[in-house]
Amino acid sequence: MTRLWDKRASLDARVLQYTAGEDYALDERLVRYDVRASIAHAQMLHAQQLLSVDDLALIRTGLQQLGEEHERGQWRIELADEDVHTALERRLTARIGEAGGRVHLGRSRNDQVLTALRLYLRDAIDELDTGTQGVVAALERLSARQGDIALPGYTHMQQAMPSSVAWWAEGFAAELRDDARGIHSVHRRIENNPLGSAAGYGAPGLPLDRAATTRALGFERTQEPVTSVQLSRGKAESQLLFELAILMQDLGRLAADLLLFYTQEFGFIDLPDAFTTGSSIMPQKRNPDVFELVRARTATALACLNEALFICAKLPSGYQRDLQLLKFPLFRGIDIAGQTLQIVAAALDALTFRPERIHLDPAVHAAQEAYAIVVNEGVPFREAYRRVAARYTHKE
C-alpha cells in the first residue's frame, strides 16, 4: 500500500507513527463529511468540464458506497492510510480505477480537511444544542415539580436573601439557554467555504468554480482571499471550545451547588442510589461522584481550549502540520461536553429537594425590612440600612 505522495524512499515507520499517530483514528468521524465534500467537488469539476460525466458517476457511486460501508463498520481508516482523505482516495481508486485519481484535481488536503471539519461542526453544534436543551428541560421539570420550595439565596456562600428552587433552577436554565446561543454563534466562523483554496494559494491555471461548492455544501459564502483560509484554521474550533468552556463552567457551578446541598450539613437534596456510588472501605457511604466529575470536567474543557489556542499561536502563516493536532482537543471537548450534558439532565430528573431540611435564617429578610422602612418612613436607604443592621449585630 502506498500513500498518495509516496515518491521515493519508504517512510520511516517511526515517522509514520509519530506523524499519523492518533490522527487516523480521529478521522473516523470525518468520513461521511469528506465523502459529501468530495462529491460536491467532483460535481463542480464536471460542471467546469474537468471531469467526464462517466467519471463523475463512478466517483459519486464509489464514494457513496464507501461512506455507507464505513457507516456499517465494514472498513476503518488504517495507520498506513495516514488520514481520512488518503483512505478514501486509495479505496476509491482501488474500486473504480483511474477515475479515482481524478478527484483530487484542484484541491489539497489543506482545504479538504477544513471543509470536512466545518461540515462536521455543523452537526456537532446541533447535537450540543440538543444536549443543552435537554438540561434546560430537566431544570424546568424540576422547577415545575418542586419550584415552590423556599431556598436561601446565597452570596459569598452566606445566606443572603430569600430565594426558591424555581429561581435556582430557572437562573441556570436561562444561562444554559444563553450558552446554547453561544454555541450557535460559532456558525459565523464555519459558514465560510474553504474548498478550492487548495494548499492555501488557489489552483493556478484551473477554472474552478468555488461558488458552486459553496452552494452545493450549503455554506453562506466562499472564503476569500485564499490566503486567509489557513489563517482561519483553528478559530472556529477554538470558539466552539470556548463556548463549551462557558457551558461547562455553568454545569460545574450547578454541580458545585448540588455538592454543597448534598452534604449532611446542608441536606437539601436527596439522590437515588443509582446516582451515587459507594466506598470500598466505608460501608455507609453514598457518594455524589457524578457531580464531582462534572465539576472536574471544567478542567478538561479549559485544557482543550488551551491546547487548541496554543497549537495555532506564533505559527508563521500558511498551512503548518501543527494544525492537524487541533482535532484531538476539538473532538475531546465536544465528546466530554455531550456526555456531561446527558448525565446532568438525567441527574436533575433524579434528585429531590428536601424542604424539611431547608431552613432560612430570618436575617435573609433584613434588606426587605430596610426597604419597608424606606417606603413607610421616607428615610434614606442608608439610614434604614443602619437601623436594621443594629438589629442583627450578633450573627445568629
Considering only residues 11-70, where is the footprint of a copy of itself by CB under 8 A?
Answer: 11-12, 14-15, 17-19, 21, 50
Of 38, 115, 146, 159, which lies in the binding site for a copy of itself, with binding defined by CB under 8 A?
159
Cell numbers linked to 29: 468521524
Binds a copy of itself by CB under 8 A, chosen from 1, 53, 73, 283: 283
Burial bucket for residue 351 (CB in 10 Å: 0-12, 13-18, 19+): buried
CB 234 within 8 A of CB 74: no
Cα–Cα dist 270/341, whole Å: 20
Secondary element (H or E) of residue 151: strand 150-155
Q: Which of residues 351-380 bind a copy of itself (CB under 8 A)?
A: 361, 363-368, 370-372, 374-375, 380
**Beta-bridge partners for 222:** 193
Q: Name the β-bridge partners of 164.
A: 150
Least distance in Å: CB of 59 to a copy of itself? 11
Instruction: Give, as ranges, the residues between 160 and 219 that touch a copy of itself (CB under 8 A).
Output: 160-163, 167-168, 170-172, 174-175, 178, 181-182, 185, 188-189, 198-206
Which one is catalytic: 10, 156, 280, 394? 156
Q: Which of 122, 127, 302, 355 binds a copy of itself (CB under 8 A)?
A: 302
Total of chain residues touching a copy of itself, rule CB under 8 A: 180
Q: Which of 72, 376 has the CB closer to a copy of itself?
A: 376
Residue 297: CB minimum distance to a copy of itself, A: 8
Rounded Cα distance, 145 and 163, in Å: 16
Whether 280 is catalytic: no
Shorter beta-carbon distance to a copy of itself: residue 10 or 72: 10
Pairing of strands 158-164, 150-155: antiparallel
Q: Are 336 and 129 in contact (CB under 8 A)?
A: no
Footprint on residues 116-145 left by a copy of itself (CB under 8 A): none
* 8-state DSSP, 323: G
Catalytic residue among 52, 185, 279, 317: 279
> Per CB under 8 A, which of residues 81..110 are in contact with a copy of itself?
85-86, 89, 93, 98-110
| Distances, alpha carbon 368 to alpha carbons 23, 313, 371, in Å | 60, 52, 5
68 vs 289, which CB is nearer to a copy of itself? 289
Our CB check for a copy of itself shows the closer of 129 and 361 to be 361
CA–CA gap between residue 127 and residue 148 (Å, rounded) = 32
| CA gap 11, 3 in Å, rounded | 10
Q: Show contacts with a copy of itself in window 215-274 (CB under 8 A).
A: 224-228, 230-232, 234-235, 238-239, 242, 245-246, 249-250, 252-254, 256-257, 259-260, 262-267, 270, 272-274
Contact 379, 373 (CB under 8 A): yes
Percent helix, percent strand, percent coil in the chain, to nearest 5: 65, 5, 25
CB 113 within 8 A of CB 197: no
CB nearer a copy of itself, residue 193 or residue 324: 324
CB of 76 to a copy of itself, least distance (A): 18
Nearer to a copy of itself, 68 or 174 (CB): 174
Phi, psi dihedral angles at 150 (to 5 degrees): -70, 145
Active site residue 164: no
Cβ partners under 8 Å of residue 80, min gap 6: 1, 3, 16
Residue closer to a copy of itself (CB basis): 67 or 329:
329
Say which residues have a Cβ less than 8 Å from residue 112's Cβ, sequence separation at least 6: 34, 37, 38, 85, 195
x-marked contacts with a copy of itself along 332-351 as a string, rule CB under 8 A = -------xx-xx--x-----
DSSP state of 155: E
CB of 29 to a copy of itself, least distance (A): 17
- Report, as residue numbers or ranges, the catalytic residues: 156, 279
